[in-house]
Amino acid sequence: MENYDLVVIGGGPGGYVAAIRAAQLKKKVALIEKEHLGGICLNWGCIPTKALLKSAELFQTIKHAENYGIKVEKYDFDIQKIVQRSRDISAKLTGGVESLLKKNKVTVINGVASLGMNKLVNVDYQGNKTQIKAENIIIATGARPRILPGFEPDTKQIWTSKEAMTPQSLPKSMIIVGSGAIGIEFASFYNALGTEVTVIEAQSGILPAEDQEISTMARKIFEKKGIKIHTNVKLLKHTKNSDNVEIEMEIEGKLHKMQSEILLIAAGIIGNIESLNLEKTRVIIERNHIVTDQFMQTAEPGIYAIGDVAGAPWLAHKASHEGIIVAEKIAGLKPHPINKLNIPGCTYSSPQLASVGLTEQQALKSNYQLKIGRFPFMANGKALVGGENEGMIKTIFDAKTGELLGAHLIGAEVTELIQGYVIAKTMEGTELDLINSIFPHPTLSEMMPESVMQAYARSIHI
């Protein structure tokens, strides 16, 4: 039986990063993966969806080329080639992960892992069973789409995100259940290519994790693009017909029916814990996710959990950072725990959304006195040059101390801009740090200090 300092269960962006960092710290590491290195993120999430969205964005740019003085007489798209490009990019990155693990001398074991007694890990690979011994175990098994009872996917008319990433043809119409990042990104992709898209959401607004002012602005822009949106929806039942799915729903007490070719369920995720045999440990499970402390330690000594399986926020970069923290903790270093208020969230729709820290509503509930600044894209030269004049940057400060409490952005490339606020927030910067930093001209980033100056009545360009 092989003995390891660390066994990582799951090869996604949390698991493989943890394995590599532990190996760098001279630990003997094994990584167990049942399917694809890179996990959902590289294979069926972050990367392939962004490839799809890039193709849709380029199609829209060509479609409106005359706005830039360019004549394009004939244009079209090939959905199968769009999908194939997405799959090729994923495959390339997955191969890169395999090379990195090999370079760092991490032992990769294919199979399904489950926990035994005394830190034994059982591995089942197509019926062939082996055991390995671990001093420490990191559970990084990720999550999967949450299935709504009565709306089970069939891969034909009722889809999850996996089917939505690999369509053989473009559906004429689609109803998307859920308006979080996943639902909104697919709404943007299919809408841009010509599908009639309807988004339904149980809560009172779309993108419920975002600042209310930003999500309200997003809804107006999406509806302007032709996406139909219904909120305060209670989904009741569906009926499959030969060429469509009919759903029944209740909107503010009134019964409604709606038909579409495809019904896409994007109503959250649940952790992958079923095959782990956790009932024989002291690991605590709440709402299908593993409970951990600030260093991702479970209630069972020596067993850690990171990434989506350990709960919100369900973000690849959060999983990777957690993996590094655990690896360094196991190696005897003194890493800083994660401050979840410093984790950025991004939605790669059109327009993009990005945020970090408290929303205005959260800050008010925490009894802060606020200074809030806003700067619109329409007042920025680079945004106008790019034909991207819809959007806003909103910054929120503690009026007493100048501490940056939150930043909320909507518009072109804001998923790239957000890191500036993340750095400022992580370094406990104030409004003066941002105002006194010199941003290059002409750039979209110029809007960042402009929003701060507006909060402190120092606006120059609005």
Q: How far is CA 290 from CA 257, 271, 278, 308, in A?
A: 38, 8, 10, 9
**Could you tell me if 90 and 104 are in contact, meaning their C-beta atoms sit under 8 angstroms apart?**
no
**CA–CA distance, 385 with 152 (Å, rounded to integer):** 46
Identity at 124, one-letter amino acid code: D
Active site residue 64: no
- Compute the residue count for the chain: 462
**CA–CA distance, 48 with 54 (Å, rounded to integer):** 10
**Could you tell me if 353 and 409 are in contact, meaning their C-beta atoms sit under 8 angstroms apart?**
yes
**CA–CA distance, 342 with 43 (Å, rounded to integer):** 26
Detail the DSSP E strand segments found in 62-195: 107-110, 112-115, 120-125, 128-139, 143-145, 158-159, 173-177
Given the residues 238, 336, 441, 461, select the one marked as catalytic.
441
**CA–CA distance, 327 with 25 (Å, rounded to integer):** 8
What tokens were used for 245? 């799915």
Judged by DSSP in three states, 361 sits in: helix
**Could you tell me if 140 and 15 are in contact, meaning their C-beta atoms sit under 8 angstroms apart?**
yes
The residues with which 143 forms a beta bridge, in sequence order, are: 271
**Alpha-helical runs (H) found in 104-211:** 161-165, 181-193
Q: How far is CA 107 from CA 16, 209, 246, in A?
A: 11, 39, 49
Active site residues: 441
